[in-house]
Amino acid sequence: MAKTKTTFFCQNCGAQHAKWQGQCNACKEWNTLVEEVVDSKPEKTWKPATSNAPKRISKPQRINDIKIGKEIRIPTSNQEFNRVLGGGIVPGSITLLGGEPGVGKSTLLLQLSLSFKQKVLYVSGEESQQQIKMRAERIQKEESNCFVLSETKTQLIFTQIEAMEPEILIIDSIQTLHTDYVESSPGSVSQIRECTSELIKYAKETNVPIILIGHINKEGSIAGPKVLEHMVDTVLQFEGDKNYAYRILRAHKNRFGSTHELGIYEMQAGGLVEVSNPSDILISKTDTHLSGTAIAATLEGMRPMMIEIQALVSSAVYGTPQRSATGYNLKRLNMILAVLEKRAGFRLGAKDVFLNITGGISIDDPAIDLAVVAAILSSSEDVSIPKDICFAAEVGLAGEIRPVTRVEQRVMEAEKLGFASILISKQSKLPKETYKINVIRVAKIEDVVDALF
């Protein structure tokens, strides 16, 4: 009987160690080494079958001699998904989709699977075929070219793949798969790495795109070794608060497109519905003029949209004033409050300040700084800001109003949505001087106070 071989893997980065030690030599994290049983068989699970799949050239070529034709992508019927990927799915690519439990990862990919014209194999290690069928009937009633397989063993999965030769492969999820060539439990570092490498080899040799679903840990990052994110071509994050109906799809890594694009969905009884005009849902439709609200013109990738900032400033009940922000960086909020106190003379040190971005989304664009300032001052002075005014500028530590990138797109979006005025930095450069919307240029916070109050 052969002797069992064990080794120690770092659960954070996947580095391999011959013996246990307190700190990983690769990522310097403590108490992350776990002993796992491994089998050093040289052969891999998948071997190319006699198919008509295109084979990639392994011969080295001078980079100037490499010929590239028109970029080929597989478009989906989901325009938000296409936007985030950069125009569609690239053949032979590996895409990893992560997100909180219950946020809608499986629902999103099942909707995509049912809408493809190509032959799709949907492999699930978490649900039975009957359970997937029940969800599919709720999502879509039409005929589909999607095949469902409930299996977790990679040897059996590749047997079915060679038999049916799918054009697109979806795995739900990578943490549930296991291979016989690694004697450890599913979800372990060695199993995830080995299963992913087998899938990558298959994708690159057959040009079949693969989409993987990945679980996340308590820190919010994708479970498994960090090397998993380095191995794949695209890493997508599906975010959303369970108390809200809206979901956001972001690209954290994309070898074939931008990582600044954003896809917005609304969760309904029949599945996820694309939101083509996010400004329409992120701005309240009430006619009541309330203090503490301001509209900001922001950008997510190439998409401009308007968001509503809500602020509440009240006297501190306890000795230490509270500072709370939802959807906005709390440290940046504290910085803006310090600027208002030091540069503009507003006494907010003894006030509780609460800030919220409506719709349950998070925005990192510094162009919403001016809207945050306006909302805070509006609540502090209890004076409402007209609903037809929006803001697009950054606030500096000296109290100056700084210009932001692509201000023309923000102005045109505000003009298209019917806003009467927009406040921007005095230093912002616009290609033309005349717009239907009134462009108000401000240089410092005092100018904003004069324009609004």
Residues annotated as binding site for ATP? 99-106
Sheet holding 438-442, edge to edge: 323-326, 351-357, 303-315, 293-300, 389-392, 421-425, 438-442
Task: Name the 3-class secondary structure at 158.
Answer: helix
Burial of 256 (0-12, 13-18, 19+ CB in 10 A): middle
419 DSSP assignment: -
Among left, alpha and beta (phi > 0; psi -120 to 50; other), residue 210 is: beta
CB atoms within 10 A of CB 31: 9
What sign does the dihedral 224-81-247-108 (CA atoms) show? negative
Give, in order, the Cα–Cα distances in Å from 115 to each of 75, 94, 111, 143, 209: 11, 19, 6, 9, 16
CB atoms within 10 A of CB 208: 21
Tokens of 296: 């900001």
d(CA 5, CA 110): 40
CB atoms within 10 A of CB 351: 20
Q: Counting every residue, how long is the chain?
A: 453
Please enumerate, by residue number, every residue annotated as part of a binding site.
99-106
d(CA 132, CA 135): 5
Q: Are 367 and 272 in contact (CB under 8 A)?
A: no
Q: Are 88 and 75 in contact (CB under 8 A)?
A: yes
At residue 33's C-alpha, the angle toward residues 31 and 37, to 5°, is 155
388 DSSP assignment: T
d(CA 312, CA 28): 43
